[in-house]
Structure 1
């Protein structure tokens, strides 16, 4: 089984983002970037499949600027075999939306013919959570999203839902899977593997050379920080709390 895994370069989860001066986007100048946490989970799942002798090759794909090659190298250090970098100057946090990404990934899938495509369920910059579903629709193949466990032998996936989990089956491969937090805990790349990753192959091609229309049809009008929350108040007793909730908050 050959596995294709998507990895996205995003602002590191521990960074406090700042709005740019023109209020059109988040300021990315001198900001630490890293692999999207859900993509790390997808990579880990693919590597575990290879360690279990169920996968023969893992291909890491990233779409973004030149610096996105660093994200692919991280995936290679974690255990992926080779990388594909679709280069674009479009901002992947707003200009390059999920449908454009899905169409670009569909082109890669058509060329590589993997048996399984594993993506993170969402990216922490856009939080759309729909790229995997859109990719499956473009390819007309099964999809299993928000996966907490994947059993390729039984062809079942345990999915996260708002009310718990559910187990669904997929009829056949190829199929698209998106990784949820409970799927696994990603490993840290070891120094020897980081050194080995430098020698692994990354194929680079321009995203606009694949014949895909990248215009999402959406325009960001303004980006702004949420208004600060008002300070809370103290009440003297339970009766005072009930009075506030009933007569001021109107929740009772």
Structure 2
């Protein structure tokens, strides 16, 4: 029987762009370029490695987001995933991590799965709670923050590296796994992979398809919201130290005044 792997990925604003909030204090995704979250690329890579070791496996990449989120799916498909599912609905605007986990859980159940893989966090929200909440909603074990992961004999095995200890973990499938940025560099899509991705199936779902009411998600159903935000002040001109023989002294006085030393 084929090993069904679902990788949850997110389309996020480019961290190198000018990111800010929209008028409703949600992330402005219109005025900045987006891309597949770098931390999710590690999850795609580990799913591909597991698939290569398995006798028979199929990788589905899943995302929740606007029309442009298909770009994140295409990136994962060009890396080697087999197919994709895109959940898009206007009522999802402003959905928080809890709401997103509910949508993902429904989509995963509809798709079918043995192993769900996630990155350790998204590069925009950086909450890192979604894999655990998703496992709770699905009613399956979670094995999170792994730097090494494999699947053998119906079980997922992994290594979690902490500051003071290393843990070796195991859980029976089905399960939810998250991997860290120490799990191995993600591969670059080849030209052949990019061309092949254009022909791979991308299924579109909305809230009706998942039997989710609009008031359960979006800003209205969010458990967490941004109440207030203050723009970062513009960068001011730095202090110039003119070295006329006492530059070191002036530098030390400045650092002491700023309490750096």
| Normalised-by-shorter TM-score class | 0.7 to 0.9
In the TM superposition, 1:33-44 aligns within 5 A as 33-44=34-45
Per the alignment, residue 194 of structure 1 pairs with: 194
**CA shift for structure 1 position 208:** 4.7
How many Å separate the matches in 1 of 2:156 and 2:165?
16
2:33 maps to what in 1? 32
CA contact (8 A) 1:42 1:178 kept: yes
User: 1:3 maps to which residue?
Assistant: 5
Secondary structure of 1:211's counterpart equals coil
Residue matched to 2:125: 126
CA separation in 1, counterparts of 2:159 and 2:8? Answer: 21
Map of 1:141 onto structure 2: 140
Aligned residue in 2 for 1:223: 229
Q: Which residue in 2 is equivalent to 1:12? A: 14
Alignment partners' CA distance in 1, 2:91 and 2:14 = 19
Q: TM-score, normalised by structure 2?
A: 0.81
Alignment check: 8 A CA contact 1:7 1:35 kept: yes
| Secondary structure in 1 matching 2:113 | coil
* Aligned-pair Cα RMSD in Å: 2.8
- Mapped to 2, the partners of 1:9 and 1:77 lie a distance apart of 15
Mapping for residues 1-252 of structure 1, pairs under 5 Å:
1-20=3-22, 22=23, 24-53=25-54, 56-89=57-90, 95-153=94-152, 155-161=156-162, 163-212=163-212, 213-214=216-217, 215-227=221-233, 244=256
CA contact under 8 A between 1:148 and 1:160: conserved in structure 2? yes
- For the residue of structure 1 that corresponds to 2:90, the secondary structure is coil
CA distance, structure 2, for counterparts of residue 24 and residue 125 of structure 1: 14
Q: Counterpart of 1:99 in 2: which secondary structure?
A: helix
SS for the counterpart of 1:111 is: helix
Equivalent-residue separation in structure 2 for 1:169 and 1:182 (angstroms): 16
How far did residue 104 of structure 1 move?
1.4
Post-superposition offset of 1:169: 2.0
- The count of corresponding residues between Structure 1 and Structure 2 is 242
Residue 244 (structure 2) aligns with: none
SS of 2:147's equivalent in the other structure is strand
TM-score by length of 1: 0.83
Gapped runs of 5+ residues in structure 1? none
Distance 1:164 1:184 in 2: 21
